[in-house]
Amino acid sequence: MKIKIEGLDCPNCAKTLENHINKIDGVYNAKINFLKSYIEFQSNDNEKAINDIIEITKKIEPEAKIVTNKTKVKFNKKWLLELLILSIGIIVGVCCFVIDLPTWAYWTLLIVSVLLLGYKTFYKAIQLIFKGVINENLLITISVFGAIVIGEHTEGQMVIALYSIGKILESFALNKSKKSIEELTNFKPEYATLLKGDEEIRVFPSEVNINDIIIVKPGERVPVDGIVVEGKASLDLQSLTGESLPTTVDVDNEILSGAIVLDGVLKIKATKKYEESTVNTIINLIETATEKKSKTETFISKIMKWYTFGVIILAVSVWAIIWSITKNFDLALYRGLIFLVVSCPCAFAISVPLSYFCGLGNASKNGILIKGSNYLDACAKLNLIAFDKTGTLTTGNFEITKIESFTKNYNEEDIIYIASIGEQYSLHPLAISITNANAKTLEKALDVKEIAGQGVYYTYKNKPYFVGKKSEHINKTVVELFEDNLKIGQITLKDSVKQNSKNTCEILKLLNIKSVMLSGDNKETVEDVANEIGIDEAYYKLLPQDKFEWIKLNKDNYKIGYVGDGLNDAPSLTLADVGFSMGLKGISASIEASDIVISNDNPAKIPQAIKISKQTRKIVWENIILSAVVKITFLTLGACGVTGMLSAVIADVGVTLIAILNSLRALMYKHKYKKINKSK
């Protein structure tokens, strides 16, 4: 069960609320996705669970709100109200220092000003401390009232004013980034137009059944995967594959859900239910990606549990050390308070998960579905990519390169025709290619018997034929045709190389990543493909277990990524440090076993995924290092008396904003791959 939550303004708050929700009777495995703003949980009584979650949210995070179908949508005046209260607090505070007031009036206005500026922060600090939770709200509260107690009234006011302004700016920047990320999953079809005779009925996509006929008009999204049965149109597939150029589909072409019809009207026969369709699969992958966190993200999350408590202990230590040296209580307390202000963990707690989420969002925008930030981290470290051949580097669609007739009774056209009469009953890729190459209307064969691994036996015009392979000495991809055990012809085929395979290998070399091909095909075929695309190493006649063992033997020396699309690739995809599967033609087992899904089967997406991963990881460490350096610098300067509390709060708020904005670079990052000409 998922419910929307609004108004959570920090990851630590989300984690605290999540812990309390998991303590509710009858609620299990509750998780709060801070960046996507939803709560996911399990319960035997969802209605009771939702009511309990609403109540606990009001107690723990009164600013947050659970949004259900029953929630009335109101105009959000929160921003205006907060700015108004903040403005009044600042004006009242200014009056304290520019107007000569009696002592009682001065203190009244001072307290009113401070409460108006920081009521939310103080309320959260007091509320949570009674629940055994201490966080940055308590740090700021202690700092503000501590400054006032030792006579630093102006600084105390300025700290809470700047902190509150900074939280509003942080919330604005964070909400903007959330909206940018949410746009990536806004390609969910809202409805389907079902054809019942001549009547068009608008239904939810989930109501479309397999073999139903739906109609899609210009500007509409395709609701479920299917096959075009009537019409021709251009499609916008950018949200699915990252490709900006439109793709044209015609009758008998497969079509993916989530695609936008740009022109023409299509009638489509549904081949999958919505739950199994491409668009739903992609959305589920994106939404669950944040559940699998990287070691860096997990480490930061674990530290945050004890961070605030540790900061308070260190601040007390700073106060004690400076007091013992200077014998000045107020000075020591002031410097200890500076330590508290600078140590607020927002920059770490927000920017690290946000950076990863932006990186995952950028990848999905380009048709690269990474199942978690842990795999994004692993992808950035790869130094060897092992490819399956058929369907990965090659199209899996065989083209005829040569037709030979060994008898005067039949010409090349006859050889294709007679072979096709038998192959029309087979689903083997070679059989399909031969049948498609025939231009004539096929007659029926008799006594058809297909033997796996050999070919098809059949009778045509009272003569027995065999189409398949009998000769063991032939290394090429050849289909032989026999009549009465006499070989009358053969057809040589070649698996066509994907358009971007060569360029992919060249880009991997530029990234200092070794490329290897692991294939079950024969030596001659594998070497031909390897030479054509320029792969570093190629291995042939490998069974699935051989590929598995090869990866196992090389894992000590390399960080290995494996790319495949078939059932036989599943073990290798699981064993590799990162498994890449082809999403269009890849079977469900390989997609399930993989860590990264390439939605359009384009091998050039592999180096692109690596570049996005490297850039995201770089941004994560930029944020960590920047936040740490700034905080350590101001902690040291504050303890030594070089900087004051105002500098500390500006540094804290400033570094948090910079880290958030820097995180957005992971979402905006673009890496263009130019085709490489080896002759240059």
- Say if residue 298 is in the same domain as residue 268: no
**Domain shared by 61 and 39, yes or no:** yes
Domain that holds residue 138: 96-181+292-347+620-667
Instruction: Verify that 400 and 493 share a domain, yes or no.
Output: yes
* Residue 36 binned pLDDT confidence (cut-offs 50, 70, 90): low
Residue 91 lies in a domain: no
Which residue in 651, 606, 610, 658 sits closest to 633, CA to CA?
Answer: 651
Residue with tokens 């079977």: 587
Within a domain: 538: no
Q: Which of 482, 497, 512 corresponds to the end of one domain?
A: 497
CA 627 vs CA 28, 290, 476, 639, 654: distances in Å: 36, 23, 60, 18, 10
Asked if residue 175 and residue 304 are part of one domain, the reply reads yes
Which is more confidently placed, 286 or 280? Answer: 280
CATH of the domain at 34: 3.30.70.100
Same domain, 167 and 130: yes
CA distance 441 to 476: 29
Q: Are residues 309 and 262 in the same domain?
A: no
pLDDT in tens, 287-329: 665 555 556 656 666 666 677 777 788 888 888 888 888 888 8
Print burial letters for 131-165: b (CB count within 10 Å at least 16), e (below 16).
Answer: eebbbbbbbbbbbbebbbebebbbbbbbbbbbbbb
Question: Percent of the chain, pLDDT > 90?
Answer: 22
Confidence of residue 439 (pLDDT cuts 50, 70, 90): confident
Q: Structure tokens of 92? A: 């009242």
Please tell me whether residues 146 and 209 are part of one structural domain. no
Which residues, in sequence order, are CB contacts of 332 under 8 Å at separation 6+? 318, 319, 320, 321, 322, 323, 326
d(CA 279, CA 222): 9
Domain-located, residue 502 = no
Strands (E), 392-441: 394-405
303: CB partners within 8 A, 6+ apart: 348
Of the three residues 285, 300, 324, the one that is the final residue of a domain is: 285
Please tell me whether residues 160 and 210 are part of one structural domain. no
Q: Predicted confidence band at 430 (pLDDT cuts at 50, 70, 90)?
A: confident
In a domain, 575, yes or no: no
Query: Distance between CA 120 and CA 138 in Å, rounded?
Result: 11
Asked if 636 and 663 sit in the same domain, the reply is yes
Phi and psi at 356, nearest 5°, equal -65, -45
Tokens of residue 175, six digits? 């909400």
Contact 60, 92 (CB under 8 A): no
Instruction: Tell me if 238 is assigned to some domain.
Output: yes
Judge if 443 and 478 occupy the same domain.
Answer: yes
Same domain, residue pair 299 and 175: yes
Q: Return the SS3 of 368.
A: strand
- Domain presence at residue 560: no
Interatomic CA distance for residues 47 and 40, integer angstroms: 14
Our count of domains for the chain comes to 4
Q: Is residue 564 part of a domain?
A: no
Q: What is the pLDDT of residue 296?
A: 63
Q: Catalytic residue among 236, 388, 521, 577, which?
A: 388
pTM for the whole thing? Answer: 0.69
Check: CB of residue 389 under 8 Å from CB of residue 519. Answer: yes
- Please indicate, yes or no, if residue 76 is contained in any of the structural domains: no
Whether residues 112 and 35 share a domain: the answer is: no
Of 298 and 435, the structure prediction assigns the larger pLDDT to 435
Asked whether the beta carbons of 239 and 599 are under 8 A apart, the reply is: no
Q: Is the pLDDT score of 76 beyond 90?
A: no
- In the three-class reduction of DSSP (H, G, I as helix; E, B as strand; rest coil), residue 565 is classed as coil
CATH code, 217: 2.70.150.10
388 classed as catalytic? yes
**CA–CA separation, 375 vs 596, rounded Å?**
8
Tens digits of residue pLDDT in 197-228: 888 899 988 899 999 999 999 888 899 989 99
